[in-house]
Structure 1
């Protein structure tokens, strides 16, 4: 019923475009989406170089992580929903330009202030592109290919995040300039990305004059749909909290506790979380994606095992926790995107997707900031355990809430 209504409304809200051009636009948006997400994780392995150069400690590193997520949240609340009125293409182009400006700031950064500005601008671009590209992919694919749009969107998101840390680690370890070469290459790559967005078909008509304002998070009007969406939003909050926890902990844990100083290895360990999440989305049986328990079970098991790895200083155990948690994150994200695309009014698709991603990135901010603050007063292992228990409790709260049966 929801799909039929959505299809009828989409025919009124989305302009007809040539089938071949539409398919080409779909894959162009997907490719640029992955590239933009890749840029979001490029800095993660590089803090080991910036910290001694700029003279900052673990709390500042935590702050830089949080500033990126805050930029993303601001984009989702203010800018991303504009594409429902102004069109997808202008917002996608603006997001690529923001990514380019952020990259330029990383190239000239010699102090913490510039680093914070670069990370914040990176978050703005990522937030706008995430919601807008996901909406555009759903429209370019059409109602008959909704599952493909959901899969490709999640692959682009998680795949880009994983490749970013791996690429940065390799460039830093084996390149001539550990903190600059990877950004020069990335900046060059954004040029064809911008051109790809320019030639992508516009899917929103009639376009209206945008009104800039802080949007209250949008949720579906119907009670059953609202309940299903809030369950998906709670689940992705917990999943991204685990992601934030891993991204914050892995570099310092490997370097300080396990004395792993190969930056490529550090980048690969962080990237492993997202790559496993990607594989889970593509290869997992449908019953794992649609079921209530598989994703939470993997997520909770992953948190438990990686906590054991932290306390025992065991890299294999920590890696096993990464594998389990990555699968949980991927399954949670894939299911949530599908639910949100299904429930969204096509005329306000980016609005609801912005709320979904807002929940995800808020999940990233909370553990990152909390870990930085708790580290100032208590042992890191204890601080991490407190956060892990909180994440597990949130996951259980979401999965144990009564399903409405509106979605599968």
Structure 2
């Protein structure tokens, strides 16, 4: 049992480590147009670079998602920060496409370890009486870090003479600081279970499986749009709107993640049912605004779309966590949290690859329009399914 001041220090150290790790994963986002010029690759290569990161996240979540339930949160969080340091160093080495791919994979492994374990660690530190606030903080530092990384890199790219090195040098320093802080302020596992090597398997308890699937699909639809924006927005701005500002490229993605945090705060003030249904409806609207941005080549619509998207996805993510991770025992929390985020990152990666591949045949804008339509259909279907499922549950509950 740790004291209240020690617990506050542990929460701050864990949240800072979470923020810094996720920040590093989006630093390349506004820089893809520069990488494309330096290494002469296409939109499809950019989406592959993004996808290998997402698959790195999923690999870490699936293979190591249950490990923190066995040996404790702290060792996994420290390992995630070590990988963040390695990734930053790799980005600082002489530029080449194979090295860029390898750095993105390592960055994905770091984010994968941090996403599931960091969420579980924050909820553990707050305790059972305050799970709602803990879940909100975990998602805030997760998505906040993603947003800060892309905006910071974009501003640096416009102001600095070393746009492909300075962001990573700063992140390297922050990662080292986060490692030292986390090691100093978080408690070591009191009585870790012996390490058992098991086949990769993330289990979801039967009572929450329906809510889990709906939560992953709804939040995943929002993550899918974020993934496509992250992968191709910088190239779209340059090639279709004639805007070469890296700050604007970073701002588009920053808005999505920043307003995802806003969605978290809104979700905690309404019921999870209302949050899920409002989120799904908002995702349909966001997909429509994105379609307008692509078809009309409108910067205003391109800036409005991530705002609507962020709030809607935040509502869905929060509702999904409330119905899944926050309802299970601590011994299962790491596995369920990792399974939840593995589903989100799968939906982050696959659509980005699909848009990149389809762009080779019909063009970047046209493939984006197809994708926007599919997202709208998915969000609407999940919203209807959630209404039906909750209605069935209410009818099955006997009257007092």
TM-score (norm 2): 0.93
Report what 2:74 is aligned to: 89
Question: Could you say if the C-alpha distance between residues 38 and 289 of structure 1 is closer, same or farther in structure 2, counting changes exceeding 3 Å?
Answer: farther
Structure 1 residue 335: Cα displacement: 1.7
Report what 1:255 is aligned to: 238
Deviations, residues 267-295 of structure 1 (Å, cap 9, x unaligned):
11221111111122225572275414210
Secondary structure of the 1:199 match is: helix
The answer to whether the Cα contact below 8 Å between 1:91 and 1:132 also exists between their aligned partners in 2 is: yes
- Which of 282, 287, 292 matches 1:308? 292
Structure 1 residue 217: Cα displacement: 3.1
The reply to whether residue 324 of structure 1 matches residue 308 of structure 2 is yes
Report what 1:151 is aligned to: 136
Report what 1:229 is aligned to: 212
The answer to whether the Cα contact below 8 Å between 2:74 and 2:189 also exists between their aligned partners in 1 is: no
* Distance in 2 between residues matched to 1:192 and 1:290, nearest whole Å: 40
* Distance in 1 between residues matched to 2:260 and 2:294, nearest whole Å: 21
Report what 2:253 is aligned to: 270
Secondary structure of the 1:293 match is: helix
Kindly report which structure 2 residues correspond to 1:210-221, keeping only aligned pairs within 5 A, or say none: 210-221=195-206
Report what 1:403 is aligned to: 389
Question: Could you say if the C-alpha distance between residues 315 and 64 of structure 1 is closer, same or farther in structure 2, counting changes exceeding 3 Å?
Answer: same
Structure 1 residue 195: Cα displacement: 1.1
Deviations, residues 61-101 of structure 1 (Å, cap 9, x unaligned):
11100000000000000123211101110000000000000
Cα RMSD (Å) of the superposition? 1.7
Identify which range, 327-336 or 62-71, moves more after superposition.
327-336
The reply to whether residue 68 of structure 1 matches residue 20 of structure 2 is no
Structure 1 residue 399: Cα displacement: 1.8
Structure 1 residue 199: Cα displacement: 2.3
The reply to whether residue 40 of structure 1 matches residue 25 of structure 2 is yes
- Which of 15, 21, 24 matches 2:6? 21
The answer to whether the Cα contact below 8 Å between 1:158 and 1:274 also exists between their aligned partners in 2 is: yes
Kindly report which structure 2 residues correspond to 1:6-405, keeping only aligned pairs within 5 A, or say none: 16-202=1-187, 205-222=190-207, 225-283=208-266, 286-287=269-270, 290-291=273-274, 292-401=276-385, 402-404=388-390, 405=393
* Distance in 2 between residues matched to 1:271 and 1:305, nearest whole Å: 17
Structure 1 residue 349: Cα displacement: 0.8
* Distance in 2 between residues matched to 1:74 and 1:197, nearest whole Å: 24
Question: Could you say if the C-alpha distance between residues 196 and 38 of structure 1 is closer, same or farther in structure 2, counting changes exceeding 3 Å?
Answer: same
Aligned structure 1 segments of 4 or more residues deviating by more than 6 angstroms? none
Structure 1 residue 178: Cα displacement: 0.7
Structure 1 residue 184: Cα displacement: 0.7
Structure 1 residue 59: Cα displacement: 1.4
* Distance in 1 between residues matched to 2:145 and 2:247, nearest whole Å: 17
Structure 1 residue 160: Cα displacement: 0.6
* Distance in 2 between residues matched to 1:190 and 1:162, nearest whole Å: 17
Report what 1:11 is aligned to: none
Structure 1 residue 262: Cα displacement: 1.2
* Distance in 2 between residues matched to 1:207 and 1:153, nearest whole Å: 23
The answer to whether the Cα contact below 8 Å between 2:65 and 2:334 also exists between their aligned partners in 1 is: yes
Structure 1 residue 351: Cα displacement: 0.2
Identify which range, 146-155 or 395-404, moves more after superposition.
395-404
The answer to whether the Cα contact below 8 Å between 1:220 and 1:229 also exists between their aligned partners in 2 is: no
Structure 1 residue 386: Cα displacement: 2.0
Structure 1 residue 353: Cα displacement: 0.4
* Distance in 2 between residues matched to 1:235 and 1:366, nearest whole Å: 15
Question: Could you say if the C-alpha distance between residues 368 and 103 of structure 1 is closer, same or farther in structure 2, counting changes exceeding 3 Å?
Answer: same
Task: Return 5+ residue gaps in structure 2 as ranges.
Answer: 395-400
The answer to whether the Cα contact below 8 Å between 1:83 and 1:132 also exists between their aligned partners in 2 is: yes
* Distance in 2 between residues matched to 1:348 and 1:109, nearest whole Å: 43
Task: Return 5+ residue gaps in structure 1 as ranges.
Answer: 1-15
Deviations, residues 331-361 of structure 1 (Å, cap 9, x unaligned):
1112222222222221121100011001100
The answer to whether the Cα contact below 8 Å between 2:27 and 2:149 also exists between their aligned partners in 1 is: yes
